[in-house]
């Protein structure tokens, strides 16, 4: 029917929820929607507790209305584009259709629900909670480079393990493996209760054997069906990928490679995610680059200004006021990051110039301290603080910029 009714958001709480990112102009979406609809109706007829919400990427209200007629579930209003975009960023939606599945407490089960539905159109394994690493590895035959055996129980006895998804044919993998092996040997010499498991993405046994000979840890050999299960359950999208896991199966970090690569002294294991401090230098590290690409960022560039120390003091005073107020109750995806550019560091200056180029902004005149407010995920939104760089002025303008991004 065409009658529209309001849905109370509270009615969607305390049960699994699917967020369906889709659009009427998208052929794969038009093919998938009837399949999802059939499953939805079947599970609802069996009194299954769950719901679906359509989040539209249609180009007009008319297209949205026409496409939504085909769906038996509610939709986020077409006008709520910013809320849809915010959810898309939160759940890393990059293609259509995408089906994000949340558990009854709102925690992510998977953002690959479409694949789960296509593989299980009867919904026998609904809501497709991924197996733990130990469930996937149960009964696996592991091996070491010297052909000695290694059991899953040996891995389970460690405080942590790291899953290393890698392949002989991958140049970044070949470059990273010697560095990882060096850190591994240092960890072992310290008596750290850990192990790495090479999850081979090679197709040919010869390439696997040659590459594996460089590694001091055990492996899951090519051809084992558990490899694809691990790829899917861990959400691996590219290699090299390094994922650290506790003995109880809890994931520590799905992006542990960058931390491990900076751990020459073997002091940072189990390579948990790195949290940025209140004020961080604009260095080209993975956490900073991630912040630039995903968060609202406020960047001070002293840029050779004669009032350098005053600008830094006023900026830091503003951060003390803003940081907790803006971030205290925010999701990690909604936080404001505060960064400074060291004009004596070529790497900092180079990254700052790249950022300005990406958003189409000219480099400020040398000798002028500036504060740049930016939100790359929101159509490259940016604005320089105008007027004097005083604590109160920075606080006022950053607050207004953040409010605008949230609207």
Residue 269 falls within a domain, yes or no?
A: no
- Report pLDDT for 138: 96
Residue 160 falls within a domain, yes or no?
A: yes
- Where is pLDDT greater, at 378 or 295? 295
138 and 98 share one domain: no
In this predicted model, what pLDDT tens digit does every residue of 48-62 receive, in sequence order?
999 999 999 999 999
- In this structure, of 91-95, 165-169, 222-226, the range with the lowest mean pLDDT score is 91-95
Q: Are 341 and 348 in contact (CB under 8 A)?
A: yes
90 and 174 share one domain: no
Residue 171: give the domain boundaries.
133-262
| CA 404-405-407 angle, 5° bins | 65
Q: Given pLDDT bands bounded at 50, 70 and 90, which one contains residue 1?
A: very low
- Where is pLDDT greater, at 92 or 80? 80
How many angstroms separate the CA atoms of 39 and 45, rounded? 10
Mark which of 205, 227, 262 sits at the end of a domain.
262
Mark which of 49, 84, 119 sits at the end of a domain.
119
Q: Hey, which bits of 217-335 come out as E strands?
A: 219-220, 241-246, 251-253, 279-281, 296-301
105 and 139 share one domain: no
Reported as half-sphere exposure (CB side, CA atoms, 13 A), residue 253 has a value of 20
The number of domains in the chain is 3
Q: Are 199 and 142 in contact (CB under 8 A)?
A: no
How many angstroms separate the CA atoms of 230 and 164, rounded? 11
Mark which of 119, 147, 179 sits at the end of a domain.
119
Q: Given pLDDT bands bounded at 50, 70 and 90, which one contains residue 330?
A: low
Helix or strand or coil: residue 300? strand
Q: Are 244 and 160 in contact (CB under 8 A)?
A: yes
In this predicted model, what pLDDT tens digit does every residue of 182-212 receive, in sequence order?
999 999 999 999 999 999 999 999 999 999 9
182 and 220 share one domain: yes
170 and 256 share one domain: yes
Residue 125 falls within a domain, yes or no?
A: no
The residue whose two tokens read 């290699």 is 239
- Report pLDDT for 9: 81
How many angstroms separate the CA atoms of 258 and 287, rounded? 9
- Report pLDDT for 3: 55
In this predicted model, what pLDDT tens digit does every residue of 276-288 receive, in sequence order?
899 999 998 878 9
141 and 115 share one domain: no
Q: Tell me, rounded to whole angstroms, the distance of Cα 210 from its chain centroid.
A: 32
Residue 198 falls within a domain, yes or no?
A: yes
Residue 6 falls within a domain, yes or no?
A: no
241 and 358 share one domain: no
Please report, for residues 256, 345, 378, the alpha-carbon distance to residue 201 in angstroms, rounded to integers and kept in the order given: 18, 39, 36
142 and 25 share one domain: no
Contacts of 267-270 spanning 24+ positions with Cβ under 8 A: 269/160, 269/183, 269/187, 269/192, 269/194, 269/244, 270/159, 270/160, 270/162, 270/194, 270/244, 270/246
Residue 1 falls within a domain, yes or no?
A: no
Residue 387 falls within a domain, yes or no?
A: yes
Residue 85 falls within a domain, yes or no?
A: yes
What is the phi/psi pair of residue 356, to 5°?
-60, -40
Q: Given pLDDT bands bounded at 50, 70 and 90, which one contains residue 325?
A: very high
142 and 239 share one domain: yes
In this predicted model, what pLDDT tens digit does every residue of 338-353 receive, in sequence order?
999 988 889 999 999 9
67 and 166 share one domain: no
Q: What is the CATH number of the domain that holds 191?
A: 3.40.30.10
Q: H or E stretch including 371? A: strand 370-375
* pLDDT above 70: percentage of residues in the chain: 98
250 and 334 share one domain: no
How many angstroms separate the CA atoms of 100 and 196, rounded? 30
349 and 390 share one domain: yes
- In this structure, of 241-245, 333-337, 365-369, the range with the lowest mean pLDDT score is 333-337
């Amino acid at each position: 029917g065409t009658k529209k009714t309001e849905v109370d958001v509270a009615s969607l709480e305390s049960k699994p929820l699917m967020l369906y990112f889709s659009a009427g102009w998208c052929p794969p979406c038009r093919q998938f929607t009837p399949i999802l609809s059939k499953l939805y109706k079947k599970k609802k007829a069996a009194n299954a507790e769950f719901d679906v919400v359509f989040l539209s990427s249609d180009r007009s209200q008319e297209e949205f209305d026409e496409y939504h007629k085909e769906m038996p579930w509610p939709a986020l209003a077409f006008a709520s584009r910013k809320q849809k975009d915010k959810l898309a960023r939160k759940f890393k939606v990059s293609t259509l259709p995408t089906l994000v599945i949340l558990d009854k407490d709102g925690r992510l089960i998977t953002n690959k629900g479409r694949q789960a539905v296509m593989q299980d159109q009867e919904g026998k394994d609904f809501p497709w909670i991924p197996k733990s690493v130990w469930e996937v590895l149960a009964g696996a035959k592991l091996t070491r480079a010297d052909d000695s055996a290694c059991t899953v129980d040996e891995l389970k006895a460690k405080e942590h393990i790291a899953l290393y998804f890698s392949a002989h044919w991958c140049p970044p993998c070949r470059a990273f493996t010697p560095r990882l092996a060096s850190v591994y040997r240092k960890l072992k010499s310290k008596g750290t209760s850990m192990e790495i498991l090479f999850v081979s993405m090679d197709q040919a046994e010869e390439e696997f054997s040659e590459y594996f000979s460089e590694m001091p840890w055990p492996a899951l050999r090519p051809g084992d069906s558990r490899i694809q299960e691990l790829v899917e359950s861990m959400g691996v999208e590219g290699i090299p990928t390094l994922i650290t896991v506790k003995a109880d199966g809890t994931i520590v970090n799905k992006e542990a490679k960058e931390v491990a690569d900076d751990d020459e002294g073997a002091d940072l294991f189990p390579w948990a995610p790195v949290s940025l401090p209140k004020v961080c230098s604009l260095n080209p590290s993975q956490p900073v680059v991630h912040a630039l690409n995903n968060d609202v960022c406020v960047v001070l560039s002293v840029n050779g200004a004669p009032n350098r120390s005053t600008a830094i003091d006023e900026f830091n005073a503003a951060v003390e006021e803003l940081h907790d107020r803006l971030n205290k109750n925010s999701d990690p995806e909604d936080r404001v990051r505060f960064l400074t550019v060291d004009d004596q560091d070529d790497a900092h200056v180079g990254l700052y110039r790249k950022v300005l180029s990406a958003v189409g902004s000219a480099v400020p005149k040398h000798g002028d301290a500036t504060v740049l407010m930016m939100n790359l995920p929101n159509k490259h939104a940016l604005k320089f603080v105008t007027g004097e760089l005083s604590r109160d002025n920075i606080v006022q303008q950053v607050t207004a910029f953040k409010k605008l991004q949230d609207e």
